[in-house]
Amino acid sequence: MEAKAIKTLKYLDTGEIEKHLSGVEYIIMAAPAPEHFKDTPIHFTIFLNTSESLPKEIQKAIFDKFLDENEIKSPIEVMSQIMPVGFSEGSQETPMPLLLVKEEDMRAIPNVPMLVMDFLADSENFGEAKEKSLTGWSYSYSD
């Protein structure tokens, strides 16, 4: 079975994004890493629902907690900063977060600033990304 590309039917506008993120604590996304990263086959992105630049020690504590809870090991190429994030609706249950890095995407796609942690790593808990080369994301809501 061939993996299908994730189709975008529409982008949420900023009002829809803010409503959508109400009650969301964070979103974790796992995708296949570029092939030459054999020891770190998964590209993780953690989208924290805050636009505040948290102190480095708090960011490290959050990052370490994610690694521990998800049995993620050998993180490399770690980036943690406020970045523009858009959301696309498709056939999935929840909108897909989009980390916007190109200027033209930042102008064309409605977005909100979020604290993003982006890195390559390995984990046995994300087989879809590791063995099947699929991209997936999961929302965590505050109680």
User: Domain limits of the chain?
Assistant: 25-141
Q: What length is written for the chain?
A: 143
Which helix (H) or strand (E) covers residue 15, if one does? helix 14-20
Residue 38: its pLDDT value, please? 87
DSSP label at residue 55:
-
Residue 3 in this model has a pLDDT that exceeds 80: no
Which tens digit of pLDDT belongs to each residue from 37-78? 889 999 999 999 999 989 999 999 999 999 999 999 999 999
Average pLDDT, the chain: 92
pTM of the predicted structure, to 2 decimals = 0.90
Residue pair 82/115 in contact by the 8 Å Cβ criterion:
yes
Which helix (H) or strand (E) covers residue 127, if one does? helix 127-130
Which tens digit of pLDDT belongs to each residue from 18-35? 999 999 999 999 999 988
Residue pair 86/109 in contact by the 8 Å Cβ criterion:
yes
Give the integer Cα–Cα distance in Å for 140 and 143.
9
| Burial classification of residue 37, based on how many CB atoms lie within 10 Å of its CB (0-12 exposed, 13-18 middle, 19 or more buried) | middle
Residue 2: its pLDDT value, please? 44
Which tens digit of pLDDT belongs to each residue from 90-116? 888 899 999 999 999 999 999 999 999
Residue 119: its pLDDT value, please? 97
Residue 95: its pLDDT value, please? 95
Amino acid residing at 25: E
